[in-house]
Each structure stands twice: as C-alpha cells, then as structure tokens.
Chains A and B, each alone.
Chain A
Amino acid sequence: MADTVVKIENLVKRYKDLIALDHLSLEIKEGEVFGLLGPNGSGKTTTINCLLSLLAFDKGSIEIFGKEMTPTSYDIKREIGIIMQNVAVFEELTVYDNIDYFCGLYITDKAERKKCVEEAIKFVGLEDFTKFYPKKLSGGLLRRLNIACGIAHKPKLIILDEPTVAVDPQSRNKILEGIQELNRNGATVIYTSHYMEEVEQICTRIAIMDKGHKVAEGTKEELKKMIKNTETISVEIAEPSEEITKEISELPHVYKTEYAEDRLTVWCSGGKHNLIRVLGVLQKHDLHIGRVYSELPTLNDVFLEITGKALRDKED
C-alpha cells in the first residue's frame, strides 16, 4: 500500500464569523494526482495555504510525509513545489534567471542547480526562450515558465492551484500533459480547479468541496456512482405533445423529462438501451428528429445533485 503523503485531519479555519474550512479531513497517497474540486470560495486555496503553513488554522492537524507541518518545517518545504494561479515571476529577469532564482531558494549548490534548471526548461519546452524576458512571452509560455519555476527543484509533492485559469485550450492541454508526466516521474500532485473536465482528465482521486466542507471524495467513477443520474439523453425536436412526454417519462429507468429551447432532455438512472427506447417512442409518433446526444454524468452533475447548484460559475 502506498505511503500517505498528506494527511489533513479535522481542519478548521475561521475568518472572523466566516468558516472557511469546516472540519476538513483528507488523505493523499504517494503517486496520486489528487483533485480538489469546488467553486470559487469553496475553500480550496485556504486548504492549500494551510497545507503550506502560510495560514494559521484554528483546529486540526496537517502531516506531510509523516511529519507535522509547521511554518519552520523547512525539510518538508524542500520537497514541495507550488504553482499558483497567478504567474509569479520577475519581469526583470530572463526565463533562465527566473527559474534559477526560484530553484535557488531550494538548492544552493550551483552545479546541481544548473542541471535542475536546464532539465526544467527542457521539461516545459522553453529551450528557445531562455534569454527572453517574461513580457516577451505569450500567455501559454508564461504559464509554462510559472510551472518550471515551481518544479525545477524536483519536488516530491507538487501543488497546483488553478494553474490553467485564463489559458488557451492548446496551452491548457500541454499543461495537463506536463502534470501527468510529472506524476509518471514519481511526484504526488495536488490539483485544485473549478474546471471539472480537467479534474476528470488528470486526477486519480477527487475531493469535491463546497463552503469549506468536503461533500464527496473518491475516484471519478466512485463519485458518479454516488448519484442517481447515469445517462442524460437530449433530442432536438419540435415540442412534443403531453402524451408523448408522458410516454417517455414512463419508460424504464427514466426519472425526469424536460423540454426547453427545442430540445427534449431525458434523465435516466441505470439500465441499458435507454437511448434506443426514447428514440423508438419519438419515431413511433413520426416526429422529425434533429441532433441526438447521450451524455454520461459529469462531476458537475455530481456536484449539482449533492449541493443543488452548478459547479461552474457563470463567468467561467
């Protein structure tokens, strides 16, 4: 069984009257890509800040690599890499100097550091930009620089706090592939995001947070099993009669139907061949069918069912 890298027990953090973390407990095993998923304000960043001892908490305990994490746990900090949402680099230093600076905060030996910096540059694919200043880099390249600054010292635990916010899809994919490669190279990863697709794509285990609580935890498959919905069928048709809608509602495994914006949506719970049965009813009544979608539940559905609200903010 893999060792526990991070163990958070009953963590409570209050900001005056607001409870930011309410008895949060998490256990992250070695080699995992652990996703912390939740909307803005759910407590993800507060959890990370407590984990890094940048924020004092009111109650609970945090252990990393089997040792209690305190602000002076420099031996533990040596093994942690942090990549934040904001690109935290010096505008006045070149790509190389930036990575060298942040790596130098962990590694004092010049030769060793040089090797690490060069490897990090290669890893993020910035070989052709080492003498560039950040202002000259595109948004995607800047994000890669940000990641290189966080991982150059070869940490065993990498914490990424929403690293893909405001990143174009191409760069986002590269970043996600990079994270998976870091994980394959042996690093344990904690990945916070409110983008469920990303979390689904790379995380081996996920904790869903809301208002400082952990509302669910497990693999994506386990999480999806926690909810009623197993399939959502959408069919573009002209508005069906009440009789047709009723007939569909009475099909096996169908527990909800809705017609909106020229689309009939049917929610199913379990069973097989739900799509064929729905289409069969529509064909029987000679309805002209447009596009048809059959979607498996997403983490957003999980979040929606557990908390009663959508995971993603409107602006996202």
Chain B
Amino acid sequence: MQVFNTFFKVLKKKKTALVIYTVIFLVISFVLASGSETRDQFKESKLKIMVIDEDASAASKALTDLIGKKHTIKEKTSDDDELTEKLYWTTIDYALVIKSGYESNLVSGSTDDLFGEYHVRENYSTAYMTTVLGQYVKTARAYLAAGKPLDEALSATADTLSKDTETIYYEKSDGSSEDYSNEFSTYFQYMPYILLAVLMSVLGAVLTIMNRKDIRFRTDCSCTKPRSATLQIFGAAVVMVLGIWLLYMVAGIFLYGGIYRGIAWLAVLNSLVFTIVAASISLFIAGLGLEENVFTAITIIVSLGMCFLCGIFVPLSVLGEGVKTAGRFLPGYWYVVANDMLKGAEPFDAGKYAGCIGIQLGFAAAFVMLSLVVKKSRKRETTA
C-alpha cells in the first residue's frame, strides 16, 4: 500500500486549494441561503406599476383593479421626463398605457394594439407584464367569444386568472418542493463549480505528481507491479473523491440544519454523478502531463467556462439559445437540467431525470476512455 499511502501524503501538501475553495464555497452558500427568497417573500415582492388609463372604460378599470390586486399601483404622471426618471430610479418598475378604444377593441376582437408601455430596459418586469396582459386578453376574448356579456366576461377572467395563480401556488407547495427547499437547491446549484475546481486542482495535481515521468520511471523499475501501482493510485483517488463529496453532503446538512428527505436524495445522487464526471475530467487533464501553470490555467478555464455555459452561475432560463445549445455538449448542463427539475423550475419527469444522470455518466465514461488513450500514446512517446 506504499503508493496508496503516498497519494495521501502528497494530497496533504496540496490541501490548501481544497480548504480555500471549500471555505469560500460554504461561506457563499451560507450567505446566499440566508438571503435567498422564499415563496412568502416572493408574494410580498410586488411590482410597482403605473397605469395610464386613456380609455377610462369599465373594461380598463377592471384590468386596473386586477393588476392592483397583485401589484402596487403607483400614482400616474403625465410628464414624460418625470416618468422616465421614475423608471430609471426604479420608483416604478413598469408603466402600462391602456390605450383609448381599449374596451371597444377588446369586444370587437381587435387586440393587436390595446396597450402601450414604458420601461427602461428589458427585464423580468416587462417580460412578466407582457405575459400577464396577453393571458388576460386571451382569457377575456375567450369568454366574450363564448357569448358572455362584457361585465360577466371581465369578472370571469379575473376569477380565472386568480384561480390560475392559486393553482400555481398549490403546485409549488407540493411535497417534493418541501423536501428540496430553496436553500438546498441553491447549495446544489453551485456545487458543480466547487466540485470541478476542487477536484481538478487537488485530484488533478496529485495525479500529475504521482504519474510524473521520472517518478513513474522509478516505480516501473521496481518490483512493484505497474498494475498494482495504478490500482493503488485509483483506489486512493476514489477514496479522496468520495471523501470530498461526502464532506460537501455533510456540510449541506449542517449548514441548513436537516437531513435530506424524499426528492432531495435525487439531488444528492445528481451531485454524486457529477462528482464522478469532475473526477474523470481531472483524470483526463492530469494525464496530459502539463506544466503546473498551464494546468492551473486549464482548471480555471474549464471550471468557470462550464459554469457559465451550463447555467450554474446564471439560470438556464435567462441564457440565450446559442449558449444553451453549446451547453448541451457539456456535462454541467445536464446536471443543471436535473437540478432545475428537482427544485420545481420545470415539472419533474423521472425519465428525463434518469436521462440527465445517464448523459453525465456517459461524459464520465468518455473522459476515462480519453485518459486511457492519452496514457497509451504518452507511454508510446516515452518508449519511442
């Protein structure tokens, strides 16, 4: 077990990176968890909307009332400069103009030009309001088309949209989400970065040292079988990788004060699979036998690059299609897709989850195969 024991002696000298990354990760996770929005806070987080009602009809008032139930209606202003200033300084998030002729156009079905809007930049508020208004108009038109009089149609629309909201709220409060709370999902959201950074800089560094050409030469000259030396290194790497993963799992429990339950175990499994992926990437890069500074640069590029492309630092929902397409060719993307399902960002589908796990394992297998190819070609170079 000489090689196995020495692996950990070398690891001991490389632990600084592990400690630094882990401490920073845990501190950031704690801060994010403390400041993360819960569903209750989300309810209280209303948009500040100014409604400029140019139609002043029953229909426009009904819409204004409905908006007022969910958001804060701000006093309107007719001065364009003042409006721009309020939007700029976010005194209001969004200004809605209900155009003259709104009611008649709604009844007649000419819904193309019912509203105007003021906003400083494209953001969640504008996207949200566009969706809500579109939904409102579609629903109202459906009731009108069904033959309901205007007042009844508007009332029914308000009821329907309120029920929809309740339904959504109900869906978000099911057992699965309770088991995988917002805190947990935040912790697991950023885990790929820490796993990549730690495993590449620690495991990768130790493997590079253990397989250094001159060290390996001495080992190969000895009466220790090369296969035994390789197996001892592999065994030590497995112990180390599992140890680091367990450390983060236990830290998760301590940080958030509870043991994982139900669907949270699927997040734990997802993280274990990604740990295997990160280890295989480390194995591959360590096998290239790069200089230390090049190795460090690659570690940073791979870990940060994957995190930005795969929706780890920025949610997938706001990433452009091009970025998402590129992300699909990286294992981190599939980790995030699985995690998003678990935290309820999209409906949970067991088959899709299994697919994400399978794809990640496929990436791990591919990197291991690549490592073997690199090892073989380097051996050929050495003996040539």
Residues in chain A within 8 A of chain B (CB atoms)? 15, 52, 54-56, 72, 74-75, 77-78, 80, 82, 84, 86-93, 97, 101-102, 104-106, 108, 149-150
Can you name the residue of chain A whose Cβ is closest to the Cβ of B11?
A92
Interchain CB contact under 8 A, B223 and A84: no
| B224 CB–A CB distance under 8 Å | yes
Alpha-carbon distance between A183 and B3 when the two chains are bound, in angstroms = 30
Given A55-B383, A93-B6, residue A105 in contact with residue B223 (CB < 8 A): yes
Whether the Cβ atoms of A82 and B221 lie closer than 8 Å is yes
A residues near B6, Cβ cutoff 8 Å:
90, 93, 97, 101
A190 to B345, CA, bound (A): 70
Residues of chain B contacted by A82 (CB below 8 angstroms): 218, 221
Is the pair B223, A88 in contact by a Cβ cutoff of 8 Å? no
Is A74 a contact partner of B225 (Cβ separation < 8 A)? Answer: yes
Residues of chain A within 8 A (CB-CB) of B214 are 84, 86-88
Say whether A52 contacts B221, CB under 8 Å. Answer: yes
B10 touches A54 (CB 8 A): no
A80: chain B residues within 8 A (beta carbon) = 221
> Which B residues between 359 and 384 are near A, CB-CB below 8 angstroms?
383-384
Chain B residue numbers with a CB within 8 Å of A106 are: 222-224
Q: Does B138 contact A (CB under 8 A)?
A: no
Complex: chain A residue closest to B6, CB-CB? A101
Q: Are A92 and B2 in contact (CB under 8 A)?
A: no
CA distance A166 to B220 in the complex (A): 25
Give complex CA distance A77, B220 in Å.
9
Cβ < 8 Å to A, chain B residues 205-232: 209, 212, 214-215, 217-225
CB neighbours (8 Å) of A101 from chain B are 2, 6
Question: Once the chains are docked, how many angstroms separate the CA of A27 from the CA of B222?
Answer: 23
Q: Per a CB cutoff under 8 Å, which of A86, A93, A108, A150 touches B10?
A: A93
Could you pull out 7 A-B pairs where Cβ atoms are within 8 angstroms?
A52-B221, A74-B223, A78-B223, A84-B214, A93-B13, A102-B222, A106-B222
Chain B hits for A78, CB < 8 A:
223
Question: In the assembly, what is the distance between CA of A294 and CA of B225, in Å?
Answer: 55
Q: Is B14 an interface residue (CB 8 A)?
A: yes
Question: What total of chain B residues lie within 8 Å of the partner, measured CB to CB?
Answer: 23
- Seen from chain B, the residues whose Cβ lies within 8 Å of a Cβ on chain A are 2-3, 6, 9-10, 12-14, 209, 212, 214-215, 217-225, 383-384
B222 touches A77 (CB 8 A): yes
A149 contacts B209, C-beta separation under 8 Å: no
Best-surrounded residue of B3, B14, B220 (most CB of chain A within 10 A): B220
Most-contacted residue by chain B among A84, A90, A150 (CB, 10 A)? A90
Closest Cβ neighbor of B226 among chain A residues: A71
A247 to chain B, nearest CB (A): 58
Output the residue of B3, B9, B222 with the most chain A CB within 10 A.
B222
Does A97 lie within 8 Å of B217, measured CB to CB? no
> Which residues of the partner chain A approach B220 to less than 8 Å between Cβ atoms?
54
How many Å lie between the Cα of A52 and that of B14 in the bound state? 33
Known: A54-B383, A92-B209. A149 touches B218 (CB 8 A): yes
User: For residue B2, which residues in chain A have a CB less than 8 angstroms away from its CB?
Assistant: 101, 104-105, 108
Determine the distance from Cα of A87 to Cα of B217 in the docked complex, in whole angstroms: 12
User: What are the residues of chain B within 8 A of A104 when measuring CB–CB?
Assistant: 2
Please, which residue of chain A has its CB at the minimum distance from the CB of B221? A82
Q: Which 10 A-B pairs have the closest CB atoms?
A: A104-B2, A88-B214, A105-B222, A92-B13, A74-B223, A78-B223, A77-B223, A105-B224, A92-B10, A82-B221
Residues of B within 8 A of A105 (CB): 2-3, 218-219, 222-224
Residues of A within 8 A of B10 (CB): 90, 92-93
Q: Report A81 CB to chain B, min CB distance, Å.
A: 9
**Complex Cα spacing A185 to B341, Å:** 72
Give chain B nearest CB distance to A134 CB in angstroms: 12
A297 to chain B, nearest CB (A): 36
B218 with A88: CB separation less than 8 A: yes
B215 partner residues in chain A, CB cutoff 8 A: 88-90
**Distance of A139 from chain B, by nearest CB (Å):** 16
Given contacts A75-B223, A77-B221, A90-B10, 16 further A-B contacts (CB under 8 A): A54-B383, A55-B383, A74-B223, A74-B225, A84-B218, A86-B214, A87-B214, A88-B214, A88-B218, A93-B6, A93-B9, A97-B9, A105-B3, A106-B222, A108-B2, A150-B218
Would you call B383 and A56 a contact (CB within 8 A)? yes
Which of B14, B218, B219 is packed against the most chain A CB atoms within 10 Å? B218
Contact for A88 among B3, B217, B383, CB less than 8 A: B217
Chain A residue numbers with a CB within 8 Å of B14 are 92
- Looking across the interface, which residue of chain A has its beta carbon closest to that of B383? A55
Q: Looking across the interface, which residue of chain A has its beta carbon closest to that of B206?
A: A92
Closest to B229 in A: A105
B383 and A102 within 8 A (CB): no
Return chain A residues, CB-CB under 8 Å to B209.
90-92
Nearest-CB residue, chain B, relative to A78 = B223
Cα A149 to Cα B2 in complex, Å, equals: 14
Quote the shortest CB–CB distance from A271 to chain B (angstroms).
49
Shortest distance from the beta carbon of B309 to any chain A beta carbon, whole Å: 34
- Nearest A residue to B12, CB-CB: A92
Chain A nearest CB from B207 CB (Å) reads 13
Report Cα–Cα, A82/B384, bound state, in Å. Answer: 20
Q: Which of A54, A82, A105, A149 has its CB near the most chain B CB atoms (within 10 A)?
A: A105
Which residue of chain A has the shortest Cβ distance to B14 in the bound complex? A92
For A133, the closest partner residue in chain B by CB is B13
Q: How far is the CB of B341 from chain A (nearest CB, A)?
A: 42
> A104 CA to B215 CA in the complex, in Å?
14
Inter-chain CA distance A84–B13, complex, in Å, is 25
Q: In the complex the two chains form, what is the Cα distance from A123 to B13 in whole Å? A: 28
Nearest A-chain residue to B13, judged by Cβ: A92
Q: Collect the chain A residues with CB atoms within 8 Å of residue B222's CB.
A: 77, 102, 105-106
Q: In chain A, what residue has the closest Cβ to B222?
A: A105
A277 → chain B closest CB, angstroms: 55
Task: For the complex, give the distance between the alpha carbons of A244 and B352 in Å.
Answer: 102
- CB B220 to nearest CB in A, in angstroms, measures 6
Nearest chain A CB to B231's CB is how many angstroms away? 14
**How far is A149 from B12 in the complex, measured between Cα atoms in Å?**
21
A49: nearest chain-B partner, CB-CB = B383
* A273 vs chain B, min Cβ distance (A): 53
Chain B residues positioned under 8 Å from A108 (CB to CB) = 2
CB neighbours of B3 from chain A (8 A) = 105
